[in-house]
C-alpha cells in the first residue's frame, strides 16, 4: 500500500464536520488517509476535545492572542498587515517538518485566508478545500443560509433552491472550483432554523465524499510519480 494521504484540518468551533472526517478515515470511507493534525483559532473550540479523543495532535493559533494584532485595532492598514503576517506565519507552520500535509480541509474554519497563506501552499502543490452552505456563485461569505432564506420568502430565490458545496479554496471568497454540490429545496412554511438543520444534516456526508474524492486523486497522482 502506498503512503497515506496526509490531511490537516482547520476548525473554529464544535468540530462536527471534523468528527465526520475522523470517523470516515477510521472506517475507510476516506481510503488510505490519515489526519495528521488539527489547527484551531478559538481557544475553547470543542474540536480540540474530539482531536484528543482520536489521538490527533492539535494546536491553537490566534490572530490576536499570538500577537499579530492588537485587540480593538481599527486602522485599516494595520488590520491588513496583521492578517498578512498571521497568514504567512500559519503557512510556514503548515509547511514545516513532518506535519506537511497533502490536503488541507477547512471544516467550520471562521477566518478568510489571503494570498500570504494560499500562495505558499499552492507553490507546494497542496490542495485546500472548504464546505460552504450555498450553491456555486451564490451567497458568498457569511450568513449564506439566512440570505438565501430571506430571498426565498421574498420570492427571489432561483428555483426555490439553495444548497451546499465543497470547493477548492482561492483568494476570492467561496469562488473556487466546486468539487461536489448538493441542491436543497426551500419549503413553504419552514422557519430558518428548520432549513439550517436540513442543510447541516447533509454537510457531513458531502465533506466526507469530497475529501475521499480529492484524497483519491492526490494518491493516484503520487503513485504515478513514484
Location of C-alpha cell 494560499: 118
193 pLDDT above the threshold of 60: yes
Please identify which of the residues 132, 167, 200, 202 carries the catalytic annotation.
132
Average pLDDT (144-163) is 93
Q: pLDDT tens-digit profile of 41-95?
A: 998 999 999 999 999 999 999 998 898 888 888 889 999 999 999 999 999 999 9
CA 17 to chain centre: 9
pLDDT grade, residue 192 (50/70/90)?
A: very high
Question: Which grid cell sits at 219?
Answer: 494518491
Q: pLDDT tens-digit profile of 99-116?
A: 799 999 999 898 899 999
66 included as an active-site residue: no
pLDDT grade, residue 191 (50/70/90)?
A: very high
In terms of DSSP bridges, do strands 58-60 and 33-40 run parallel, antiparallel, or are they unpaired?
A: parallel
Task: Give start and end residues of each alpha helix (H) in the chain.
Answer: 16-27, 47-54, 76-95, 115-123, 144-153, 192-225
Amino acid at each position: 500500500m502506498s503512503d497515506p494521504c496526509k490531511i490537516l484540518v482547520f476548525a473554529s468551533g464544535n468540530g462536527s464536520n471534523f468528527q465526520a472526517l475522523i470517523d470516515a478515515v477510521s472506517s475507510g470511507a476516506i481510503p488510505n488517509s490519515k489526519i495528521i493534525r488539527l489547527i484551531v483559532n478559538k481557544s475553547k473550540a470543542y474540536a480540540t476535545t474530539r482531536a484528543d479523543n482520536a489521538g490527533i495532535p492539535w494546536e491553537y493559533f490566534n490572530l490576536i492572542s499570538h500577537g499579530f494584532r492588537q485587540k480593538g485595532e481599527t486602522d485599516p492598514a494595520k488590520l491588513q498587515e496583521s492578517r498578512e503576517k498571521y497568514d504567512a506565519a500559519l503557512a510556514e507552520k503548515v509547511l514545516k517538518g513532518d506535519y506537511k500535509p497533502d490536503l488541507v480541509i477547512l471544516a467550520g474554519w471562521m477566518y478568510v485566508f489571503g494570498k500570504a497563506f494560499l500562495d505558499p501552499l499552492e507553490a507546494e502543490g497542496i490542495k485546500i478545500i472548504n464546505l460552504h452552505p450555498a450553491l456555486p456563485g451564490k451567497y458568498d461569505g457569511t450568513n449564506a443560509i439566512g440570505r438565501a432564506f430571506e430571498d426565498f420568502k421574498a420570492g427571489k430565490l432561483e428555483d426555490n433552491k439553495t444548497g451546499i458545496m465543497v470547493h477548492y479554496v482561492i483568494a476570492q471568497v467561496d469562488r473556487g472550483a466546486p468539487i461536489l454540490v448538493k441542491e436543497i429545496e426551500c419549503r413553504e412554511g419552514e422557519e430558518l432554523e428548520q432549513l439550517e438543520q436540513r442543510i447541516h444534516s447533509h454537510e457531513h456526508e458531502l465533506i466526507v465524499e469530497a475529501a475521499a474524492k480529492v484524497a483519491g486523486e492526490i494518491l493516484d497522482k503520487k503513485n504515478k510519480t513514484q
